[in-house]
Amino acid sequence: MCPVDVRRRLRINDVFLLLIILKFGLHAVDAVWPLPQTFTSWTERYPLNPQHFHFGYRGRSAALEGCPVLDAAFKRYFSLIFPDYAPGNDKLRIREDKPFSVEIAVDGHYCESYPTEDSSERYNLSVSAGQACLNAETVWGALRGLETFSQLVYQDDSGSYFVNKSDIKDFPSFQFRGILLDTSRHYLPVQAILKTLDAMAYSKFNVFHWHIVDDQSFPYQSRTFPDLSSKGAFHPMTHIYTQSDVRRVISYARMLGIRVVPEFDSPGHTKSWGKGQLDLLTPCYRRGIASGTFGPINPALASTYQFMESLFKEVSSVFPGSYFHLGGDEVDFSCWRSNPYIRAFMQKMGFGDDFAKLQAFYIEKIVNITTALNKTSIVWQDVFDYNERRSSLSVVEVWKQGCYLCEVRRVVKAGLRVILASPWYLDLPGPTHNWARYYNVWPLAFSGSEEQKRLVIGGEVCLWGEYVDATNLSPRLWPRASAAAERLWSDEKQTSSVENALPRLLDFRCKLLRRGIQAEPLNVGHCRHEYQGV
């Protein structure tokens, strides 16, 4: 056990301490982002010498040396904690020779598995003289604790490293904390995705929602249907994600405790699909004659569902997670309406002229396919809004503007789980430095029972790709996405003040810069270590 000294305790919300920090330039020892659930720190501090610092496993830990997730994390976090250190570096003045160890105990092994929607990320961290004790239920919780410890370490003006005595008990408020990247409207190189995963881990995000294909391009290279990318990608060789690329992203994310959720949006947003798969899209008609243009996927053909089942069977084998995003948003009915064969099919099925029923028919068939593959479907809120038969639905992502909490309330009243995205669309108009609009969000501020509110499983930051590629991906995301990260991780009551959060976010942005993440400025000022990647 790490001892607790209650006589010199300083609470995280101590405004007086914050004023001292701002006035005299002392290190913000409480500048952890996102804010832990309970966080006590002391003025007592301990010097760290990278030559006498090590990570280790405590005897009772289920995970021991040889656990790939934690062994890799130890190497990664050593470099993050001591960015100036390299053997033989004479510029770093090291006066302290006392050893310091971070000892980890994990209740369950989980070293070879993937994180799931039920994985615990809870951890306890105590920092005292010569040691930090990190206890977690899973390796994923240990990763979150290592991130917190790395943010507690700071340097003085001479470059010496310190960490203050601290006691932290922490866990996320929501189990789903995601970021959506759109790789169809602009192709994102794999390295840009991996760098985003790094930054996500720094903010304790745990889901990468990969909107991998759309109208504009189909960069996913399918083993079963290779023409989808060879004819539907921007370029069949340079602008695709091979099976190896996808495995690399999934494996990299796993080591950071991040799940990868693929989205193959249909029946709309599928123009690129039709280039590589004949008879998949609906032919549009004009004045009773085929116009040569195409609309959404054709829901009237049995071959459509045979194709979708084969494609989804492959995708499900590639992506190990339990969630599969089916899209279902923004379907334009005009092409279906123009097609005489579609209208005849609707009459046969008893749909009349209600094209929402046709879309519901299609989505139900697709949901059944994913269910048979042992996957849980996520759909955009459009599917919930038009679908009277909702028994097949599981998770609804609320994305439209307006009274989004009204929509959340309707969904949970129907007994379905909710992911909230509406307030975190980073591509909406407005000044990019206005992070507070993403911070002042209260996902549970609707009238409902506690049981209903537990159905809000989390939220997601969406960065659509119309005007985003690798050149501006990071500054568009960070640090605005980190505002949402704190809302989804931390206690609402402790993080209700933008003014109190700003000094910590400024400090965290500087940490991101030093870690090589191009996080844009929030106001006039500077960081001690400016971005060096140019």
C-alpha–C-alpha distance, residues 30 and 120, integer Å: 24
- The total of other beta-carbon atoms located within 10 Å of residue 141's CB is 26
Q: Are 169 and 202 in contact (CB under 8 A)?
A: no
CA nearest to 38, candidates 106, 119, 102, 125 = 125
**In degrees rounded to 5, what are phi and psi of residue 410?**
-65, -40
Task: Report the alpha-carbon distance of residue 82 to residue 98 in Å, rounded.
Answer: 16
* C-alpha atoms less than 13 angstroms from C-alpha of 436 in its C-beta half-sphere: 9
**Active-site residue, from 44, 65, 112, 330:** 330
169: enclosing H helix or E strand: strand 161-170
For residue 122 the two structure tokens come to: 């809870």
In angstroms, the CA 70 to CA 140 distance is 9
Helices (H), 387-458: 404-413, 436-439, 450-453
**Burial class of residue 74 in the structure, from the number of CB atoms within 10 Å of its CB (0-12 exposed, 13-18 middle, 19+ buried):** middle
Tokens of 83: 């960015």
What number of CA atoms fall less than 13 Å from residue 345's CA on the CB side? 19
Residue 499 falls in the annotated catalytic set: no
d(CA 171, CA 193): 26
Placement of tokens 């960070």 in the chain: 478
| Residue keyed to tokens 């405790």 | 257
Residue pair 271/278 in contact by the 8 Å Cβ criterion:
no
Give me the count of residues in the chain: 534
C-alpha span between 353 and 363 (Å, rounded): 18
Which residues lie across from 169 on neighbouring strands? 38, 124
Residue 18 has which token pair?
């914050």
Query: What type of residue is 389?
Result: R
CA distances from 46 to 10, 52, 129, 165, 286 (A): 16, 13, 6, 7, 76
Active site residues: 330
